[in-house]
């Protein structure tokens, strides 16, 4: 979709075509045939693309998606709305009043900032994305300014906070090398010398986080979506794990972590959320459970106290099964288990291949955990709670 085609979609005629496209048959050929009676091929293609993107965007933006505009790559790179809202709420709570989004994309974070009451401005090198971002603010009745500009050449001093989401793609695809980011890592380091927030990949090495900067890993309904680096007065701890779920939001920091040792398998097993693992806060979960680690290098917690926590999924340890494959197969068959969920950490096992070799048949369902404890492999039959 080019800039002219998108701008036409914002006209009265374009909005009418979008409405018709939303009600068009699901079959692409039939939809194009029906819509070509009222508009040219390029405009019909733009409208149908927008309808498809809106449906796909519902997973990230919920009910707002049907009023918003997207580009394929802009949608892929956009932050999920619950995560963006959490970030905007942190900024608002810090007493920040203004924020500049350096690389605003299609405006997902701008929408969250403006919705939180912040005065927000966004820039991007791509004119189409800037146009889309402005259209999204307008479509949702939100205030904000957008402009085509180079983030590395913008004076951020007039704003209370600078926010950046460096592009992590090159012509070769996704990159994990910070020097390939746009803007590159040296620019990010400079930004982190003032009050700022930078969205980064969840796999960012802890050693790369500058001194005095807070690293926050965020998961949404069990999926680790991103990490964010908070600097200046926005940094309140060293490491933080934030989990977002149906019940709301919960956060855990290194200040909640007294540490924990290794202990034998207890009555319960806990599988920490991915954000907790990324933030190196597994021992904080162990402290919550009044337990310890199965192994100092593996992210499983065990204890004799049953707790419910947003930071880990809990299991009751039903029994310990043989770890070797042949006796394990016999034990599972003896219990009539035909449907098996295999969870593993710290052992060289491919669950799909093992399940095929076990060749189970039976009416019962079960979950087993294959991991290491006490210096060797173990198999635990567990029940989720």
The model's pTM: 0.91
Using pLDDT thresholds of 50, 70 and 90, give the confidence band for residue 174: low
Contact between 159 and 232 under an 8 Å Cβ cutoff? The reply is no
Q: Partners of 317 in the beta sheet?
A: 382
Q: Report residue 369 as tokens.
A: 């955990």
What integer pLDDT is reported at residue 341 of this predicted model?
97
Of 95-99, 139-143, 180-184, 188-192, the one with minimum mean pLDDT is: 180-184
What integer pLDDT is reported at residue 326 of this predicted model?
96
**3-class SS at 214?**
strand
Q: What does the pLDDT look like over 129-151, one tens digit per residue?
A: 999 999 999 999 999 999 999 99
What integer pLDDT is reported at residue 168 of this predicted model?
73
Using pLDDT thresholds of 50, 70 and 90, give the confidence band for residue 180: confident
Using pLDDT thresholds of 50, 70 and 90, give the confidence band for residue 298: very high
Distance CA 347, CA 349 (A): 6
Listed in sequence order, the residues at least 6 apart from 113 whose beta carbon sits closer than 8 Å to its beta carbon are 88, 91, 99, 101, 120, 144, 163
Q: What does the pLDDT look like over 253-270, one tens digit per residue?
A: 999 999 999 999 999 999
Q: Who has greater pLDDT, 174 or 111?
A: 111
Contact between 3 and 131 under an 8 Å Cβ cutoff? The reply is yes
Listed in sequence order, the residues at least 6 apart from 65 whose beta carbon sits closer than 8 Å to its beta carbon are 54, 55, 57, 58
Q: What does the pLDDT look like over 20-51, one tens digit per residue?
A: 888 776 766 666 666 766 767 788 888 889 99
Contact between 172 and 166 under an 8 Å Cβ cutoff? The reply is no
What integer pLDDT is reported at residue 24 of this predicted model?
75
Q: Which CATH number fits domain 75-251: 3.40.50.150, 3.30.1360.120, 3.30.70.1400, 3.40.50.970?
A: 3.40.50.150
What integer pLDDT is reported at residue 32 of this predicted model?
67
What integer pLDDT is reported at residue 179 of this predicted model?
77
Q: What does the pLDDT look like over 308-322, one tens digit per residue?
A: 999 999 999 999 999
Using pLDDT thresholds of 50, 70 and 90, give the confidence band for residue 184: confident
Give the pairing of strands 376-384 and 312-321: antiparallel
Domain boundaries along the sequence of the chain: 3-59, 75-251, 255-313, 319-384
Average pLDDT, stretch 295-306?
97
Average pLDDT, stretch 199-213?
95
**3-class SS at 164?**
strand
The total of other beta-carbon atoms located within 10 Å of residue 175's CB is: 16
Using pLDDT thresholds of 50, 70 and 90, give the confidence band for residue 175: low
Average pLDDT, stretch 228-238?
97
- The span from the first CA to the last CA of the chain, in angstroms, equals 48
- Segment 247-254 long-range contacts (CB within 8 Å, at least 24 positions apart): 247/310, 249/86, 250/310, 250/311, 252/276, 252/279, 252/281, 252/284, 252/285, 252/311, 253/281, 254/279, 254/280, 254/281, 254/284
**3-class SS at 304?**
coil
Helix H or strand E encompassing 137 = helix 127-139
Average pLDDT, stretch 243-247?
94
What integer pLDDT is reported at residue 258 of this predicted model?
95
What integer pLDDT is reported at residue 27 of this predicted model?
66
């Amino acid at each position: 979709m080019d800039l002219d085609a998108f701008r036409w979609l914002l006209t009265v005629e374009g909005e009418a075509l979008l409405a018709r496209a939303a009600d068009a048959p699901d079959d692409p050929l039939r939809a194009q045939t029906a819509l070509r009676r009222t508009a040219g091929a390029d405009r019909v293609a733009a409208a149908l693309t927008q309808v498809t993107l809106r449906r796909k965007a519902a997973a990230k933006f919920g009910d707002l998606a049907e009023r918003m505009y997207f580009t394929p790559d802009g949608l892929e790179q956009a932050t999920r709305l619950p995560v963006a809202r959490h970030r905007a709420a942190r900024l608002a709570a810090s007493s920040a009043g203004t924020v500049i989004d350096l690389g605003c994309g299609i405006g997902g974070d701008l929408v969250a900032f403006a919705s939180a009451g912040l005065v927000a401005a966004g820039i991007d090198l791509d004119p189409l994305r800037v146009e889309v971002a402005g259209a999204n603010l307008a479509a949702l009745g939100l205030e904000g300014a957008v402009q085509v500009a180079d983030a590395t050449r913008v004076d951020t001093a007039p704003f209370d906070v600078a926010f950046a989401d460096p592009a992590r793609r090159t012509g070769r695809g996704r990159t994990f090398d910070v020097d390939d980011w746009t803007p590159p890592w040296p620019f990010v380091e400079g930004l982190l010398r003032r009050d700022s927030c930078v969205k980064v990949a969840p796999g960012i090495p802890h050693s790369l986080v500058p001194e005095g900067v807070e690293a926050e890993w965020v998961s949404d309904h069990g999926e680790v979506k991103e990490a964010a680096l908070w600097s200046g007065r926005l940094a309140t701890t060293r490491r933080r794990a934030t989990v977002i779920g149906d019940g709301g939001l919960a956060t855990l920091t290194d200040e909640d972590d007294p540490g924990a040792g290794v202990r034998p398998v207890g009555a319960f097993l806990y599988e920490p959320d991915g954000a907790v693992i990324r933030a190196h806060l597994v021992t904080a979960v162990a402290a919550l459970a009044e337990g310890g680690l199965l192994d100092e290098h593996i992210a499983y917690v065990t204890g004799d106290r049953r707790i419910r926590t947003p930071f880990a999924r809990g299991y009751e340890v039903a029994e310990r099964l043989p770890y070797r494959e042949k006796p394990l197969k016999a034990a599972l068959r003896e219990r009539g288990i035909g449907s098996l969920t295999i969870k593993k950490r710290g052992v060289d096992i491919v669950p799909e291949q093992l399940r095929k070799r076990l060749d189970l048949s039976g009416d019962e369902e079960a979950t087993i955990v294959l991991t290491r404890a006490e210096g060797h492999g173990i198999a635990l039959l567990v029940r989720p709670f």
